[in-house]
Structures are given as C-alpha cells and as structure tokens.
Structure 1
C-alpha cells in the first residue's frame, strides 16, 4: 500500500512549483508636487492648498513598461456580493509584464514589474452602488 503513495509523491515532486502569490500594496494616497512649463512668464504658479492629495483609484496591467503604453485588457470581470474581481491572464513572455497604481487627480502612475513566473493577476475592488470603488487587493501568482 505504500507504493502508490510513494509514486504519487514522486509525481508531485516532478511538477513545476506554483509561483508564490505576490501582493502589490499600492500606496493609498500620494502627495504630488506639480509644475508647469509655460513659456509665458506673465503667469505666476500658485499651489492650490485646497486640492486634496491624489488617492488610489485603480490598478492596471501593462504588456511592457507603462511609459511605452501597452495597457493589457482584462480577461474577466466578475461581480460578487460587495466586490468586483478583475482577472488578467499572463501568457509566458521573455519580458516582464508591469502593474501600475492609478491615482485620482493625477497623471502619475506608480509601477512595478510583475515576476516572470506569474501567470495571472487579480484585482479586487469594493463595490459602491453599481461602480467599482476602493481597491482592496492586487495579487499576482
């Protein structure tokens, strides 16, 4: 009776190890210093202290570095009771995919490469009424 268990254990040992989940924790709020490149020196740059800081609004996946474009379309979006789960499948590639944190009231993205061994990424957001709201988790595995 020990032989079937030994054979099963040997077969499992030959399978490739699943990639450990990587949790990307985007900063919820970022402080941004803005500037302008106006050539008209008659305008004075004045910072609006009433403007709130930039807040995390979404996470997205890119086929290459975000500065080069290549936004990857999600493979699936599913609504559950109080959450929405968006799934990107990542076919093997020699270059890394990238993820980026997207902020409201900002043109700044915070980006990181996704590990090459990751085969999918999953974004979970809280539903506010009928629309996706706060980012809860972004995990690649």
Structure 2
C-alpha cells in the first residue's frame, strides 16, 4: 500500500530533488504532478511571511487528509512538504507531489490536497511589510473555501 510522506519544516526544499526521490526506481508511475506554492512580494509591499503552526498537530492533520487522498485515488506516491518560520518572497512555502499511473488521478489528488491546505491545515500566516511594519494575519479567501467545498460532497 502506498504511504504518504508528510513533512513540516523550516528549511527550503528542492522540488527536483523531492520529485526524484518520489519516483526513483519506479516504473509503475506514469504521471507525476507537483505543485509548488511560492511566497509573493505583493507588488513589492511584502518583506516576508511568518508562518506558524502547532508541531505535531499540523503533521497529523495533513497526514489525515493525505490518507483520504490515498483512499480516493489510486496513487503510487504522495508527498507534502510545508514550511514554517520566516519565508521571503520567491522562496517556496509548500510542495504537493502526487504520483499515479495516469494523469487524471494525479491532478485530482494534487488539487484536492492544495484545496485542503489552503482552507483547513493548521497554519497561520502573518505578513511583514517591506518597511518593517506588521500587516497582520492573512485571512481565508471566499474563493479558497468555494474550491474546497467541491470535495466535501
């Protein structure tokens, strides 16, 4: 049975290296879908995001939804890496990689996982402006909630 790999860490990750690890020696994989979320600079206004989480709880909750993805789609591999701490514009925040025999399953699973991470994963993001000011916590967007709603039925 395929197992999900979930990591929550402060260090930046290398998408190519992570993808290679997921597919190394595998000839049963016909599709690998990766999504990498990057920190934006918000037109030069943002100096960094500070991402907080509850250690243990974040991994457990992401693991729970990863298990749900494995039950919904026939995946040969699943990797989720989410960073915390201070993240500068241009740096990666999150990586979701799904591997399957066919592209449709890999795309659907990756979309499902990102919709969950955007709406329900226990992470909190605070914006730090280029001038040094604190712009407060990032709030959920209605469009993210609507996207996640399609998976709840």
**TM-score, normalising length: structure 1:** 0.24
TM-score when normalising by structure 2: 0.23
